[in-house]
Amino acid sequence: MSRYNAKETEVKWQSLWSERDVFATQTDKSKPKYYVLEMFPYPSGRIHMGHVRNYTIGDVIARYKRARGFNVIHPMGWDAFGLPAENAAIERGVHPGKWTYENIAIMRDQLKSMGLSIDWSREVATCHPQYYRHEQKMFLEFLKAGLVERKESWVNWDPVDNTVLANEQVVDGKGWRSGADVEKRKLSQWFLKITDFADDLLDGLKTLERWPEKVRTMQNNWIGRSEGARVFFKIRDEDHRPAGHDTLEVYTTRPDTLFGASFCAIAANHPLTDALSASNPELQDFIAECNKMGTSEEAIEKAEKLGFNTGLKVTHPFDETIELPVYVANFVLMDYGTGAIFGCPSGDQRDLDFARKYDLNVIPVVLPAGEEAESFTIENEAFTGDGTLFNSRFLDGLDVDAGKRKAIEKLEELGQGKGTVQFRLRDWGVSRQRYWGCPIPVIHCESCGAVPVPDEQLPVELPEDVTFDKPGNPLDHHPTWKNVECPSCGKPARRETDTFDTFMESSWYFARYCSPRSDQPFEREDVDYWLPVDQYIGGIEHAVLHLLYARFYTRAMKKIGLLSVDEPFRGLFTQGMICHETYQDSQGKWLSPDQIEKIDGQDGYITIDGGSPVKVGPSIKMSKSKKNTIDPADILQAYGSDTARFFMLSDSPPDRDLEWTESGIEGAWRFTQRLWRLVQTSLEALPAKEASAPAEFSEAATALRRTLHKSIAGMTENVESFRFNAAVAKIYELTNSVSQFKPQSDADQWALRESLEILVRLCGPMMPHITEELWQQLGNTTLLVDTSWPEADESLLVDDSLTLPVQVNGKLRANITVAANADENAIKTAALAEPNVQRAMDGKDIRKFILVKNRIVNIVV
RNA sequence: GCGGGCGUGGUGAAAUUGGUAGACACAAGGGACUUAAAAUCCCUCGACUUCGGUCAUGCCGGUUCAAGUCCGGCCGCCCGCACCA
């Protein structure tokens, strides 16, 4: 008997699938559709283990749904714009486009060697003008629809990547790619008005039942809705206040505490601060001090709360006789609310600390239950809880919520404020000062302003002849590209040299897959049929980036009439990461797994090159910097795709981290061989494919068939609920049962054939190549990929007799075997006949007899 | 600080609506086959035990005939957000 040759077999079936185009799909309204999508890869060079896991999970679902009769779309493409391509250009002098397309070619081959059930005819690369031209068109449509804005604002500047970053791309004060400390710069940028949809994006989350709770929570927090009020404080000192600043607008969530106000504070980059600093060098110094401060968690923790008294005074909105000082404070953020606050020291810890430091009033206004107004004081701890308002005139006696409502009512009545809803979400800044991205289709003219590129001039294509020899944006350095005529007045004008954030391309690619060769972004008929994506699979790292942008972009596309869905992804699954042990030499230098070997007969490792001791570290996410990566190419080469896929699914639940181990992949390899041997050794004696089912089965055959049909039911449930590791366990159990079965008759042989065929069908989505081969060996002339998922025979899911555990007082004492239809009395008799049960009962009377059908017996004495 | 999740053998993990805790696998140990190795096959494998049992799902308590699962209170770990007014 031959050993299974994975390489030959896998190539054989991959070619056959491809020749017959079995994974090509068409819009077909007569069939139920199912859209399976994994987050498309960035063409970085080679696939990594994370890709293997991602695409294995997706492929199992795609093949399973296909076997369940769905018209499955399962496309693939390339998120092909981005900085690594430019960095390669800078480091190696290769053009970003060439580098990208070469990487795509390599990675496409690698993915194809995994045997994924992908419709490759739908492949797209976002860096191709045939893709990004539609994005430019849509952007101009968004502009017309009022969803785009150009404004000067403070933006996040990454000094290493030399570009602006969106808020979502700043992680703990650092650039998400470069890790560099982000600086604040004031620049003119294009913004997509994601905030127009803030409430809708929030509401939509409630409908996403098949999204992980965690991701929904993260988006909820990111959007950050809060209810409160804007309050207008009149600025006094008409002689001193800067022109145009007669009112200070403040945002608060606690208008009920207005009578506890003792100061106002504004941000260092607030317009009023700007105006005041012009004639005030001390304030200029203070502002400079504030701007120096980092925005990382650590920097914020350490930073002292500092204020600068501007000397200005404002009037309390409820009482003209009360005046409050105005400070510039380093803890007030221009990005949130109005960039100005009022401070109520008794009700906010930070305000209290500030008040103590600058010797300001502390007026308690909320009385906790059980405290007396006369004796209640605030020392060093602010009271933030619920209670009864006091010291607050017309608000006295109300609770906090009623106080808020009443205060807002009064503010509006007096024209001193307004109830509002505030979001943390900012508009999405999409301008990037980089070359390898989609050009923003706008022309800047001195007299006409920002003018959209006319339709007939689209797409605006990236120039090929660019240089990367100096810092900054190559498009800006290009000698001619940016010089154009104004489409409106014909005078010399300048092309926009910024390109789009690469998250733009990934915000609509799932729709493009529906009509990948259309001269429109996509055909209405196709997206109406295919969208939304039924199952999306990817990493959690995009919880508030890509996944939020795509939800917004879908709404924007709906608004300009391109499609009719709100939510792009009905189901979302976030997979865990792949981890591996880490190794270091005695100097602490990281070692890769192939630089070390096991010490003979002992635990522990030495270096292959030199034999020096190796320190073994914890298993952490595979990363190049820690050198704990395993190249999937080596694994696919050594074991084949089926084994690699099987291991990816077997050890851990797919949403948890998976530890890569040598013994784990070896185990999967042993199973592949075992499955092969099992069929080879059985083939000869099997009855013909057409043989009809025998009238009767032996006891052993019936037992096998019961196991078999229970496996079908269990597997189906496990696959449906993404418990692939449990599904794999069921495959092992079934394989064990089939291996142990020794057929004695023709009927037994028939049962064996049935078992083998179903085993092969159940393994199909996980190990598509070997199962296709075995399917053929079992005498089938059709392809396994075109074969339906097996159905469990209901009659075999219940046993004739069953074993019931018997407890006495909740402790297991015996197991009894009774007929499946035995009544309570028969079961009781059988249970009481057990000597162990008798002993445990110790001659006492039965107080209660509990029988849970098909489960357990408990005798209480 | 706010929010989410998790805690089960040497390891990864199973366990339906509360119903035999540890399925399945990895590692380890023993045995068979072999000149030998690899491969394969068989057995053992939570702890303690006077071999009757007893104790075990982070800790303490509660509900229940019955708790890994439900409730209350702790402890620990992981993740996300955070000077958000």
Phi, psi (rounded to 5 degrees) for A49: -60, -35
Give the gyration radius of chain A's Cα atoms.
Answer: 34
Instruction: Assign A158 a pLDDT band (cuts: 50, 70, 90).
Output: confident
The whole-angstrom separation of Cα A87 and Cα A85 is 5
Task: Give the whole-angstrom CA distance, residue A616 versus residue A628.
Answer: 11
The dihedral sign for the CA sequence A107, A112, A117, A122: positive
Question: Hey, what's the torsion of the CAs at A684, A688, A694, A699, to 10 degrees?
Answer: 20
The mean per-residue pLDDT over the stretch A565-588 comes to 91
Tell me the nt nearest to A802, Cα to C1'.
Answer: B20
Point out the nucleotide closest to A348 (alpha carbon to C1′): B85
Can you count the helices (H) and strands (E) in chain A? 25, 37
| pLDDT higher than threshold 90 for residue A7 | yes
Band (A301; pLDDT cuts 50, 70, 90): low
Nearest nucleotide from residue A254 CA, by C1' atom: B85
CB A361 within 8 A of CB A262: yes
Tokens 């209480």, residue located: A860
Task: Tell me how far the alpha carbon of residue A352 is from its chain's centroid.
Answer: 39
Arithmetic mean of pLDDT, A528-532: 97
For residue A111, give the amino acid letter.
Answer: L
CA–C1' A809–B66 (A) = 8
Contact A149, A471 (CB under 8 A): no
Confidence of residue A611 (pLDDT cuts 50, 70, 90): confident
pLDDT of residue A762: 97
* Cβ atoms of residues A846 and A861 within 8 Å: yes
pLDDT band at A20 (very low <50, low <70, confident <90, very high): very high
Closest residue to B66 (CA to C1') is A810
CA of A413 to C1' of B71 (A): 48
**Which residue's CA is nearest to the C1' of nucleotide B80?**
A218
What's the angle, vertex CA A549, arms to CA A545 and CA A555, rounded to 5? 160
Q: What does DSSP say about strands A33-38 and A535-539: parallel, antiparallel, or unpaired?
A: parallel
The gap between A840 CA and B55 C1' (Å) is 18
* Alpha carbons A434 and A176: distance in angstroms, whole number: 16
Beta strands at A225-235 and A247-252: parallel, antiparallel or unpaired: antiparallel
CA angle A619, A624, A627 (to 5 degrees): 55
Is the pLDDT at A302 greater than 70, yes or no?
no
Residue A761 vs residue A854, higher pLDDT: A761
Residue at shortest CA–C1' distance from B24: A729
What is the rounded distance in angstroms from the CA atom of residue A511 to the CA atom of residue A505? 11
pLDDT tens profile A325-365: 999 998 898 888 899 999 999 988 889 989 999 999 999 99
Domains observed in chain A: 30-128+508-574 (3.40.50.620), 139-199+434-500 (no CATH), 225-423 (3.90.740.10), 580-660 (no CATH), 686-798 (1.10.730.10), 801-860 (3.10.20.590)
Token pair in block for residue A435: 């070359």
**Strands, DSSP E only, in A114-246?**
124-125, 148-158, 163-165, 170-171, 174-175, 183-192, 225-235
Residue A800: pLDDT over 90? no
User: Is the dihedral angle over the CA atoms A362, A365, A369, A372 positive or is it negative?
Assistant: positive
Q: Which residue has the tokens 């509002």?
A: A420
pLDDT band of residue A295 (cuts 50, 70, 90) is low
- Residues A817-835 pLDDT 10s: 888 888 888 899 989 988 8
Find, among A50, A44, A45, A41, the residue nearest to A622 by Cα: A50
d(CA A276, CA A594): 64
User: How far is residue A164 from each of residues A186, A252, A432, A454, A477, measured CA to CA in Å?
Assistant: 10, 30, 6, 27, 18
Query: CA A742, C1' B52: Å apart?
Result: 39
Asked whether the beta carbons of A803 and A815 are under 8 A apart, the reply is yes
Using C1' positions and the CA of A229, the closest nucleotide is B85
Distance A20 CA to B1 C1' (A): 60
Q: Where are the beta strands (DSSP E) in A181-306?
A: 183-192, 225-235, 247-252, 263-266
Identify nearest nucleotide to residue A543 by CA to C1′ distance.
B80
Phi and psi, residue A425, nearest 5°: -60, 135
- Provide the pLDDT for residue A453: 97
Q: Whole-number Å distance, CA A575 to C1' B57?
A: 26
- Residue A268 near residue A258 (C-beta atoms within 8 A): no
Structure tokens belonging to residue A396: 């006295």
Cβ neighbours of residue A666 under 8 Å, at least 6 residues apart? none
Residue A420's φ and ψ, nearest 5 degrees, are -140, 165
Q: What is the DSSP letter of A561?
A: T
pLDDT at A349: 86
Residue A270 has pLDDT above 80, yes or no: yes
Interval A167-181 mean pLDDT: 80
pLDDT of residue A243: 85
Q: What is the mean pLDDT of residues A619-639?
A: 91
Give the rounded percent of residues in chain A with a pLDDT score beyond 70.
98
Name the band, by pLDDT with cuts 50, 70 and 90, for residue A155. confident
Instruction: Point out the nucleotide closest to A726 (alpha carbon to C1′).
Output: B14
pLDDT confidence band for A160 (50 / 70 / 90): confident
Protein residue at shortest CA distance from C1' of B12: A651
Q: Which helix (H) or strand (E) holds A813?
A: strand A811-819
Q: For all residues of chain A together, what is the average pLDDT?
A: 91
Pairwise CA distance, residues A503 & A510, whole Å: 13
> Nucleotide B39: nearest residue by CA–C1'?
A670
Map A475-522 to HEC letters.
HHHCCCCCEEECCCCCCEEEECCCEECCCCHHHCHHHHCCCCCCCCCC
pLDDT in tens, A62-85: 999 999 999 999 999 999 999 889
What pLDDT shows up at residue A250?
95
Per-residue model confidence (pLDDT) at position A578: 92
- The pLDDT score that the predictor gives to residue A298 is 62
Q: Please give the nucleotide, over all strands, whose C1' is closest to the CA of residue A728.
A: B24
Q: Is the pLDDT of residue A652 over 80?
A: yes
**In the structure, what pLDDT confidence band is assigned to residue A537 with cuts at 50, 70 and 90?**
very high
CA of A430 to C1' of B83 (A): 27
**β-bridge pairing A263-266 and A340-343:** antiparallel
Q: Which nucleotide is nearest to A810 (CA to C1')?
A: B66
Q: Would you state the pLDDT for residue A737?
A: 94
The residue with tokens 């560099």 is: A180
User: In the structure, how far is the CA atom of residue A798 from the C1' atom of nucleotide B53, in angstroms?
Assistant: 34
Q: Which nucleotide is nearest to A336 (CA to C1')?
A: B84
CA of A349 to C1' of B78 (A): 29
Query: Straight-line distance from CA A194 to C1' B82, in Å?
Result: 22
Checking if the pLDDT of A276 tops 80, the result is yes
pLDDT tens sequence across A477-508: 999 999 999 999 999 999 999 999 999 999 99
What is the CA angle A267-A271-A272, rounded to 5?
Answer: 80
Q: What is the pLDDT of residues A447-484, one digit of tens each?
A: 999 999 999 999 999 999 999 888 788 999 999 999 99
pLDDT of A691 higher than 90: no
Distance, Å, A759 CA → B39 C1': 24
**With 70 as the cut, is the pLDDT of residue A602 above it?**
no
The CA–C1' separation of A418 and B5, in angstroms, is 39
Residue A738 has pLDDT above 90, yes or no: yes
Strand partners, A607: A596
Q: In this model, does residue A123 exceed pLDDT 70?
A: yes
**In angstroms, rounded to a whole number, what is the distance separating the alpha carbons of residues A667 and A733?**
15
- At A80 the pLDDT is 97
Give φ, ψ of A421 to 5 degrees. -110, 135
Nucleotides on chain B that have an atom closer than 7 A to a protein CB are: 2-5, 11-15, 19-21, 23-27, 39-42, 52-55, 65-67, 79-85
